[in-house]
Amino acid sequence: MAVDQQERDSYTGYLTTGHEWNGIKELNTPVPRAVYFFLALSVLFSVVYWILMPAWPLGVTYTKGLLGVDQRTTVAATLNEAAIDRSVWTRRIETEGFAAIQSDPKLMEIVRNAGRTLFGDNCAACHGHDAKGGPAYPNLTTSSWLWGGKPEDIFNTIRVGINSAHKDTRVSQMPAFGRDQMLPRADVMKVASFVYSLTHPDATTIDPKVDPKIDPKTIEAGKEIFAANCVSCHGDDAKGNPELGAPDLTDKSWIYGGSLEAIDTSIWGGRQGQMPSWEGRLSELDRKILTLYLLDKRTVTP
Ligand code: HEC
Ligand code: HEC
Length of the chain: 302
Q: Nearest Cα to 138, choosing from 299, 298, 7?
A: 298
Residues 15 and 234: their CA atoms lie apart, in Å, by: 112
Residue 77 CB partners (closer than 8 Å, separation 6+): none
Q: Nearest Cα to 189, choosing from 264, 269, 249, 262?
A: 264
Residues 65 and 72: their CA atoms lie apart, in Å, by: 15
* Torsion of Cα atoms, 219 then 220 then 222 then 226, to 10°: 130
Cβ-contact 151, 98 below 8 angstroms:
yes
- Of 232, 241, 271, the one to substitute when testing ligand 2's pocket (max ligand atoms within 8 A of C-beta) is 271
* pLDDT number for residue 216: 86
Q: Is this structure's pTM higher than 0.75?
A: yes
How remote is the CA of residue 172 from the centroid of ligand 2, in Å? 9
Residues enclosing ligand 1, CB less than 6 A?
A: 122-123, 125-127, 137-138, 140, 145-147, 154, 157-158, 162, 172, 245, 255, 273-276, 278, 290
Distance between the two ends of the chain, CA-based, in angstroms?
98
Cβ-contact 16, 7 below 8 angstroms:
yes
Residue type, 251: D
How remote is the CA of residue 40 from the centroid of ligand 2, in Å? 89
Sketch out the chain's domains with CATH numbers.
75-143+280-300 (1.10.760.10), 185-269 (1.10.760.10)
- Of 174, 177, 219, the one to substitute when testing ligand 2's pocket (max ligand atoms within 8 A of C-beta) is 174
Helix (H, G, I), strand (E, B) or coil at 22: coil
Enumerate residue ranges in the chain where pLDDT < 70.
1-5, 204-213, 300-302
Q: Measured from the CA of 191, which atom of ligand 2 is nearest?
A: 35
* pLDDT number for residue 208: 62
Three-class SS of 166-228: CCCCECCCECCCCCCCCCCHHHHHHHHHHHHHHHCHHHHHCCCCCCHHHCHHHHHHHHHHHHH
Residue 108 CB partners (closer than 8 Å, separation 6+): 101, 102, 292, 296
Q: Which residues pair with 275 in a beta bridge?
A: 162
Whose C-alpha lies nearest to ligand 2, atom 34?
230
Residues 5 and 117: their CA atoms lie apart, in Å, by: 84
Task: Say whether 127 counts as a known binding-site residue.
Answer: yes
Buried residues in 161-198 as b, exposed as e (16+ CB within 10 A): bbbbebeebbebebbbbbeeeebeeebbbbbbbbbbbb
Phi and psi torsions of 114, nearest 5°: -65, -40
- Of 127, 130, 150, 274, the one to substitute when testing ligand 1's pocket (max ligand atoms within 8 A of C-beta) is 127
Task: Say whether 233 counts as a known binding-site residue.
Answer: yes
* pLDDT number for residue 103: 95
Whose C-alpha lies nearest to ligand 1, atom 7?
275
Whose C-alpha lies nearest to ligand 1, atom 42?
275
* pLDDT number for residue 209: 65
pLDDT digits (tens, 9 = 90+) for 109-168: 999 999 999 999 999 999 999 999 999 999 999 989 999 999 999 999 999 999 999 999
